[in-house]
Amino acid sequence: MLIKLYADNPDYRLLTRLVDQLRDGEIFIYPTASGYAYCCDALNARAIEELCRLKGIDVRKKSLSMACHSLSQVSEYCKMNDRAFKFIKEHEVNYTFILPASGALPRIFKHRREVGVRLAQHPIGQLLSEHLGNPLITASLPIEDSDEPEYVTNPELIDERFGSFVSGVFDAGDIPLAPSTVVDCTEEPFEILRYGHGRLADEEPLIKQE
């Protein structure tokens, strides 16, 4: 089912219903700055387990990422020193940051010392996380080598392929895949684990140089 939610002029009755569904453990596909992705309430362990089942991953062995609507929300669930806070504030777009996890996350995360965090850049993600009051667990859609890219970038085709497994697909138009740059901020100097679309200056004093 395709869902039309306009972040600049939202239907608050629809938004309230969607937030209630997330809180109840339902899973959606929503737009992010990196493309469409699965999402669920980061504080609902049952939803996280179901999302991992859809992805075919073991949460005990595979890191998951959270999308937060603000740095303040990040600080509720992760530990940040002043340097990490400053670095994240200056590199919000198309970045995933690995940070030490706090004890506020569900027990399903108890075996993990760190968690991936993104600041939600797409207005729909910001709206959902803010009104839910919790971060969103985010996981990319699976794509096979033989797949046409449109099946993970076009909402109608995404709904055709994945719609029966989720409660809805947010329609925000075509969104190209743009993998984020992943930076490990658990210790200094910070280390780039994957280069993506997040840009770095030529000389980043806090980044481990190769």
Instruction: Give dist(CA 128, CA 205) in Å, integer.
Output: 35
Could you check whether the bond before residue 189 is cis, i.e. omega within 30 degrees of 0? yes
Domains of the chain, earliest start first: 2-194 (3.90.870.10)
In DSSP terms, 144 is beta-bridged to none
Closest C-alpha to 57, from 131, 141, 119, 133: 141
3-state secondary structure of 73: helix
Per-residue pLDDT of the chain (210 residues; tens, 9 = 90+): 999 999 899 999 999 999 999 999 999 999 999 999 999 999 999 999 999 999 888 776 677 799 999 999 999 999 999 999 999 998 888 899 999 988 887 777 777 788 999 999 999 999 999 999 999 999 999 877 546 778 889 999 999 999 999 999 999 999 998 889 999 999 989 999 998 876 665 445 555 544
Who contacts 90 (Cβ-Cβ below 8 Å, separation ≥6)? none
User: Global pTM?
Assistant: 0.89
